[in-house]
Amino acid sequence: MAAMRLGARKSVRGIGTAVLVAALVVTTPFVVPNGIDAVRLLAERNDPVAITDYRLDRLAPAQYEVAMLEALADDDPDLAASVMALADNRDIPVDGALRDRIEVAVSNENSLGNRLSQLFEGALTGRPDSTAGLIGAVATDLTTVGDVRDIIIEGDAYLSGEEYDPFILGISVAGLAITGAVILSAGSATAAKVGTSALKAAGKTGALTAPLRRSFTRLSRQAVNAPALRTAVPMLKRGNVPAASRALSSSLNAKPLMRMQDAAANVGTVMTKQGLRAGTDMLKVADTPADLGKLGKLSARVGKRFRAVLLLLGSGAITLGGLLLSAASWTASFAVWLAGAAYFGFRLLRLSWRIALLPAGRLIVRLVA
């Protein structure tokens, strides 16, 4: 009876081992690669480049063509060219006729007449609808004139207890407080000044995400205070900008002000290196100043493909979002697979040791040795 029970247990163990081996073999092509990717993704969850690569690997090739056609339909050849560059980088084939359309459209957009037309429209309307248009909208704010004007208007309202825009007031103060923001000899602006001007223009035209505007508004309320404005606003009205700038810099809460300036510098760096449209694109997907830092890092790595990444992935380029649950599930599955593989390895090693102890096994070991 005991022998029968022992035999039954061995039979069950044998069947269980066979089922385990079959399960390991069947699931290996799915669980192992996805599990490894999930573990790597969770480990690099704060790296926007790793998140972007993970998401792009899962896009269908047809999505690239759709994105290029949509960009052309929206009269944005620069974006279409960015998507094409991304497709080429990832070995996604692009139809020859579509490639020719994009190259012609980019050439036409870069014509002098078209750029001058967009520049004039941007200067009049303040709408950042194109690269040249954004130049027109931002250019008037690159000098201290725009910051001075807005600080006087919003600062007076703040001090009088009237309704004011804390975002415009804070970003104007940040712009004015940037040392050496405008390089007069070259007529150009530092990246931080370009960023504050672009943020202000986007804020005035509603081109910022609501969470990002709230984040900057909160920082502005922390940085700006009534005593500093009471000192600086009269100076600005008299035209004494340097004294007002010093008064603001010495009286404001430096930490939130620096956070605003650092975020603006990320935007400005992207705009000066990748184009102004790339900067406005990042303002449409960022929810916090920290997001702007991640997007700046991503832009530095992907270059001219940056706009395409934002079009195809949106805020998913820098956040796990819906991937978190999937990654956790694959990680758990991979852990179970590893446990099963370890158990099977133990059983196999135990069996090998038993065989080695048999007379025939010892003979085989000697022959092999």
Mean pLDDT by 10 residues, the chain (369 residues): 51 58 59 64 70 88 95 92 95 94 87 48 44 55 78 91 91 76 44 86 86 93 88 90 83 85 91 86 92 93 94 85 60 67 67 57 51
Could you tell me if 178 and 246 lie in one domain?
yes
Instruction: Give start and end residues of each alpha helix (H) in the chain.
Output: 2-43, 48-56, 61-73, 77-89, 96-109, 112-125, 131-142, 144-159, 166-177, 191-204, 210-223, 226-237, 241-251, 254-274, 276-283, 289-302, 306-313, 323-357, 359-368
Q: In this predicted structure, what is the pLDDT of residue 121? A: 45
Q: Does residue 51 belong to any structural domain of this protein?
A: no
Please check whether residue 252 is in contact with residue 105, taking contact to mean a CB–CB distance below 8 angstroms: no
Could you tell me if 330 and 274 lie in one domain?
no
Q: In this predicted structure, what is the pLDDT of residue 109? A: 76
Could you tell me if 41 and 190 lie in one domain?
no
Strand partners, 182: 189
Please check whether residue 72 is in contact with residue 311, taking contact to mean a CB–CB distance below 8 angstroms: no
171 HSE (CA, 13 A, CB side): 29
Phi and psi dihedrals of 240, rounded to 5?
-90, 75
Q: CA-to-CA distance for 96 and 7, rounded, in angstroms?
A: 70
Could you tell me if 129 and 200 lie in one domain?
yes
Could you tell me if 214 and 358 lie in one domain?
no
Could you tell me if 124 and 243 lie in one domain?
yes
Q: In this predicted structure, what is the pLDDT of residue 211? A: 93
Q: What is each CA distance from 289 to 142, 167, 259, 283, 349, in whole angstroms? A: 21, 13, 8, 10, 55
Identify the domain boundary among 253, 284, 315.
Answer: 284
Q: Does residue 37 belong to any structural domain of this protein?
A: yes
Could you tell me if 152 and 272 lie in one domain?
yes
Q: Does residue 65 belong to any structural domain of this protein?
A: no
Q: In this predicted structure, what is the pLDDT of residue 228? A: 86
Could you tell me if 172 and 252 lie in one domain?
yes
Q: Does residue 18 belong to any structural domain of this protein?
A: yes
Question: Which amino acid makes up residue 271?
Answer: M
Q: CA-to-CA distance for 135 and 118, rounded, in angstroms?
A: 9
Say which DSSP state 189 is in: E
Could you tell me if 25 and 147 lie in one domain?
no
Domain count, the chain: 2
Identify the domain boundary among 268, 284, 300.
Answer: 284
Q: Does residue 90 belong to any structural domain of this protein?
A: no
Q: Does residue 57 belong to any structural domain of this protein?
A: no
Could you tell me if 170 and 242 lie in one domain?
yes
Could you tell me if 280 and 359 lie in one domain?
no
Could you tell me if 278 and 350 lie in one domain?
no
Q: Domain range for residue 363?
A: 2-45+324-368
Identify the domain boundary among 225, 258, 284.
Answer: 284
